[in-house]
Amino acid sequence: MIDLKLLQKDFDTVSAKLIRKGVGAALIEKLKTKNEELKKAKSSFETLQALQNSMSKEFGIYKREGKDISELKQRVDANKIVINEALEIQRTCQEELENIAMSIPNMPDDNVPDGEDENDNIEIKKVLTPKEFSFTPKEHWELAEENGWIDFERGVKLATSRFSVSFGMGAKLERALINFMLNFNSKRGFEEVSVPALVNRTALEGTGQLPKFEDDLYKIDGQELFLIPTAEVPVTNLYQDEILSADELPKKMTAYTSCFRKEAGAAGRDTRGMIRQHQFHKVELVALSKPDESEVIFDEMVECASDILTALELPHRIVNLCTGDLGFSAAHTTDIEVWLPGQNQYREISSISNTRDFQARRAKIRFKDGNKNSIVHTLNGSSLAVGRTLVAIMENYQNEDGSIDIPEVLKPYLGM
């Protein structure tokens, strides 16, 4: 959640940043109106409280001097009623402002480029050069069928469209990739954790998926439980409503989970293959840090995810996202896009975000900063999406006869 104290102190600066993120004028005006109402309610309460304090002092003087206090007592009692009413108005305004703020995205960092969508993202660099094929490379769904690695029709039979079943080497490679990624991340200082695939509403509110994106989540009927869209949610919320010591930071974690998304906003996109499925495997990086350390850790996370692709000898590029392509909770995001020769383009395989104090304010994750409690910064990133990594291996390691070679770093995980 955005800092409401900063909003009240410098509304124009905050609103200008939100406009860069694409927040509409109507919502900005609603935020401004409620912010002004809260200011007025606070001022009214403080005036009444000051009057009450003044009358209380006067009450003491009257008693010491033996004066008649009956009239003053009536005024004090009457003012108490008005104070309670003013306090309730202030509480209601605060609650309404917080409800509005829950649907407001994070403010983008100043160095995030302006833009409307992915077409305005800025390439930072390319890593490795795509292989030149002496034949026309096939797309992964053709290779999956030829090699018997992935069965999309049986996925539909068991569930519905955008589900798949992996067989044989396809299934083994997924497991090998998960173990390889977790080991790689652990060596980079990220502690492995195993978390539930179901979380409650509070956890999803903490990381920003709720209330705005409920339509994209799978909810358990009759319970306030949801299937996780990403490990970012349970791992970040491990420290929800806690105060950590400064010595505990940074906390750097990695987790493997299955992820579940309705893909409500992706109708007609990537309907074939494994690029966009309702259930997929992912290895995630999550970090909690002091504010002055988060940018260094952000760079570490980008490097870690990129180095996994380099170890797999998969060409990729690193991209700085523009304001229009930033996620709801992100202040700054770098995407890593892997080269898919079958599609003849780079496709997103990892998204690393620094959310600053946005998620931690919602989730109430703090640390002891000297004599005060301060809000941590939270970061998250894919390291990597397992299915998309498998897709990249299939397309980049394919041979003319349709067979697929295995990356050297994965062979020990396959007993080869």
Same domain, residue pair 287 and 173: yes
Same domain, residue pair 38 and 74: yes
9 part of a folded domain: yes
Same domain, residue pair 222 and 300: yes
Set 75, 175, 201, 276: catalytic member: 276
Q: How many domains does the chain have?
A: 2
The binding site consists of 230-232, 261-263, 284, 348-351, 380, 382
Cβ-based neighbours of 49, under 8 Å, separated by 6 or more: 83
Q: Give the distance from CA 330 to its chain's centroid.
A: 6
Q: Is 124 helix (H, G, I), strand (E, B) or coil?
A: strand
CB-CB neighbours of 407 under 10 Å: 20
pLDDT above 90: percentage of residues in the chain: 84
361 in active site: no
| Mean pLDDT on 149-173 | 96
Higher-pLDDT residue of 68 and 277 is 277
pLDDT digits (tens, 9 = 90+) for 48-57: 999 988 888 8
327/304 Cα distance (integer angstroms): 21
Mean pLDDT of the chain: 94
| The two three-digit tokens of residue 389, written as one number | 């990594």
Q: Do the Cβ atoms of 289 and 250 come closer than 8 Å?
A: yes
Same domain, residue pair 14 and 136: no
Identify the CATH number of the domain in which residue 88 sits: 1.10.287.40
Largest CA distance in the chain: 107
326/322 Cα distance (integer angstroms): 6
Identify the CATH number of the domain in which residue 376 sits: 3.30.930.10
Domain-terminating residue out of 74, 101, 128: 101
Q: What is the span of the domain harbouring residue 49?
A: 4-101
276 in active site: yes
Same domain, residue pair 127 and 23: no
Q: Work out whether the CA dihedral 240, 246, 247, 253 comes out positive or negative.
A: positive
Set 261, 347, 356, 366: catalytic member: 261
pLDDT confidence band for 85 (50 / 70 / 90) = very high
pLDDT confidence band for 151 (50 / 70 / 90) = very high
- Report DSSP letters for 160-171, one per residue: -TT--EE-HHHH
pLDDT of residue 261: 95
Check whether 407 has a pLDDT greater than 80.
Answer: yes
261 in active site: yes
Same domain, residue pair 231 and 94: no
pLDDT of residue 265: 58
| Mean pLDDT on 83-106 | 93
H or E, element range at 347: strand 345-354
pLDDT of residue 169: 97
Check whether 323 has a pLDDT greater than 80.
Answer: yes
Set 58, 98, 293, 348: catalytic member: 348
Nearest to 387 by CA among 175, 190, 209, 218: 175
pLDDT digits (tens, 9 = 90+) for 6-23: 988 898 999 999 999 999
pLDDT of residue 70: 81
Domain-terminating residue out of 101, 132, 157: 101
pLDDT confidence band for 76 (50 / 70 / 90) = confident
The binding site for L-serine consists of 230-232, 261, 284, 380, 382
pLDDT of residue 223: 95
Q: Give the distance from CA 283 to its chain's centroid.
A: 15
379/23 Cα distance (integer angstroms): 23
pLDDT digits (tens, 9 = 90+) for 188-234: 999 999 999 999 999 999 999 999 999 999 999 999 999 999 999 99
175 in active site: no
Return the beta strands (E) in 130-250 as ranges: 150-151, 165-166, 191-192, 198-200, 225-227, 242-245
Same domain, residue pair 122 and 97: no
Same domain, residue pair 97 and 133: no
Same domain, residue pair 74 and 122: no
